[in-house]
Chains A and B, each alone.
Chain A
Amino acid sequence: MRFIKRTTYMHDIQLFRYRSTLVWYLLLGVVVLAAPLSMGAYGMSLLTLVGIYAIVALGLNLLTGFTGQISLGHAALFAVGAYTSAILTGTHGVSFWLALPAAGILAAIVGIFIGLPALRLKGLYLAIATMGLGFIVEEIIVHWSSMTGGVNGLAVSRPVLGAFEFSSDDSFYYLVVSILFIMTVIMKNLLRTPTGRAFVAIRDSDVAASSMGINLAAYKTIAFCISAFYAGIAGSLFAHFMYFIGPENFTFLISISFLVMIVVGGVGSVHGAVFGAIFITLLPEFISFTRGYLPEVIGKQVGLQEATYGLVLILFLRFEPMGLYGRWLKIKFYFEHFPFYKKDTFKRERKFYRTEH
């Protein structure tokens, strides 16, 4: 058990409440920075993808995990970011360093439209509406071929900084890691200020939230905007990392995989974003690896990946709604409280006392 004596309010607000936490994060930082030394090219490209997906997951988690608004249109926002950056740098010769924020901002604007249904719809209906808008963007990409290259896609170049080009995978990895770091700090800041609390308030009780002075429509729109901004930034990085983008990178299945990412990682947790991103990057690798070993009927199935996503979603929602991060917390709690651990500590409590009288 750990008790801390708070001496200033900063204790409650600061990012690292215990010195040991800070040490762990510094250690993690060293491992992340040293990764290229021990990993091969293939490993590094997977790690870079993890970083890119983690940015998407951070944003989607803000929307779905913290604000309680589901989106099945995030692949579209990812696409808007990717194409904005690709077209600006490719066709118009704009620098990557301007195209990157532009990708985020344009995605945020599209995010407002994807979020419009949220002002009236909830739950399943919102899911369907955002899915529809996602399909619209997908269609636009395919048919507006003068701009997007249609089904042929677009070639994208790696960014340059002065004389330096991020052409090696290691250098691009460091670029992604730095941006992920900045995006994480911004997210953490939002969550410890009135903005972030307002999002969570909307998720828990909209009547109470509006009686506290929270403008529901404005905050839901802002949540979509921020979430879309994250997806757009990640999309831009994705485009420049892959050298090439096409409509097949932004299908509905990608939206689903983003959702799987936050459910698996842990809905409503910032750490979970990274766990989820690791999972979703490794899963396709794992599936294609095991295909060969599976009986032919299963191994040769076309929808194997889709089915696996579905299965994973169902299993997590049923057995571990708090995701991998929740599991990690429980393990940590178990060791911290070792002899005294009670099995029911995390059981959800039922409430019978909500009475009317």
Chain B
Amino acid sequence: MRERQFFSVQNLSIRFGGIQALKDVSLEVKPGSIHALIGPNGAGKTTILNCISRVYKADGGTVVFKGEDVSRLKPHQVVSRGISRTFQNIELFSNMTVMDNILLGRHSKRQTSLLNDALFWGKSQRQEMQFRERVEEIIDFLDLQAYRNLPISRIPYGVQKNVELARALAAEPDLLLLDEPSSGLNVEETQDLAFWIEDIKEDFGITILLVEHDMRLVMDVCDAATAFNYGSVLAYGTPADVVKDPEVVKAYLGEEG
């Protein structure tokens, strides 16, 4: 009998008009690992994440998470199964404070009814305290104390990326999807990010699937990598092996040439 898979994508395909953005993509993520998706621009990396989180409806294929087929869920049901994500182009609630944004990350843990919230009594009050307690822990972890009560529109880009990470963590996922977490960050911020990603894996026991262009970061923190081009898998293996793969080298050189 095969061992039960933690997370796997099988034969995922999606087409936008004339573009076959994904063609029979299969991959597996081992529990407790950090898995990178790499590939040139337009390879289909973001599209995979969007299909997993059901922002896009795939034309075919399945996504299995902890033994359940999650490829037919509604977009808002995905997070309650234990998958949360960040976006390549920051999608924060820009008129809210940092605190409120992260608090929204806990929405899937909500236990109160509308009536309970309207009265703000008992369970509703206790829940709000618990939410805040958990959010403060995340704020401490990601060094966001100074920005706690500022609206998103008044904090720098790098911090916004951090808030998005914090919001995704607040959902206490088992699998975290990160879309280019280092893009737009400076060297120092990228180093912090590398430490945080490792801590998220080690201390919180969260498995991470990330799209990343920064090969240094991929080599430093990732346990496995899958390379893509034109919506198909080119290579899978350890990051060191994947970047040496002739097909992968050709895809990147082809892009530059």
Contact = CB atoms under 8 A, between A and B. Distances in A.
A binds B: yes
Contacts of A298: none
A54 interface: no
Contacts of B157: 353
Given A186-B118, A205-B92, A211 B75 contact: yes
B112 interface: yes
Contact of B105 (A13, A212, A216): A212
A190 B118 contact: yes
Nearest to B94: A204
B87 A207 contact: yes
Interface residues of B, number: 55
Interface in B177-229: 180, 183-184, 213
B86 to A, nearest CB: 9
A219 to B, nearest CB: 9
A9 interface: yes
B123 to A, nearest CB: 11
Contacts of A215: 74, 76
B72 interface: no
A93 interface: no
A249 interface: no
Contacts of A351: 153
B55 A211 contact: yes
B137 interface: no
B250 interface: no
Q: How large is the interface on A (under 10, 10 to 19, 20 to 34, 35 or more residues)?
A: 35 or more
B92 A198 contact: no
Nearest to B78: A211
Most buried by A among B55, B77, B93, B213: B93
Contacts of B106: 194
Contact of B85 (A196, A211, A222): A211
Contact of B75 (A196, A204, A210): A210
Nearest to B90: A354
Interface in B90-146: 90-96, 99-100, 103-108, 110, 112, 114, 117-120, 124-125, 127-129, 131-133, 136
Given A193-B117, A213-B108, A357-B41, A208 B92 contact: yes
B79 interface: yes
A204 B118 contact: no
Given A189-B120, A204-B95, A212 B107 contact: yes
A337 interface: no
Nearest to B114: A195
B117 A213 contact: no
B20 interface: no
B107 A349 contact: no
A319 B229 CA distance: 50
B80 A213 contact: yes
Contacts of A194: 103, 106-107, 110, 112, 117, 127, 131
Given A207-B87, A351-B153, 17 more contacts: A9-B133, A194-B103, A196-B117, A197-B100, A197-B103, A198-B107, A201-B93, A201-B104, A205-B91, A205-B94, A211-B75, A212-B79, A212-B104, A213-B107, A214-B107, A349-B153, A353-B184
Interface of A: 9-10, 12-13, 186, 189-190, 192-198, 200-201, 203-205, 207-216, 222, 268, 348-349, 351, 353-357
27 contacts: A9-B128, A9-B133, A10-B129, A12-B99, A186-B118, A189-B117, A189-B118, A190-B114, A193-B127, A194-B110, A194-B131, A195-B118, A200-B93, A200-B95, A201-B107, A204-B93, A207-B55, A207-B87, A211-B75, A212-B79, A212-B108, A212-B167, A213-B78, A351-B153, A355-B89, A357-B41, A357-B183
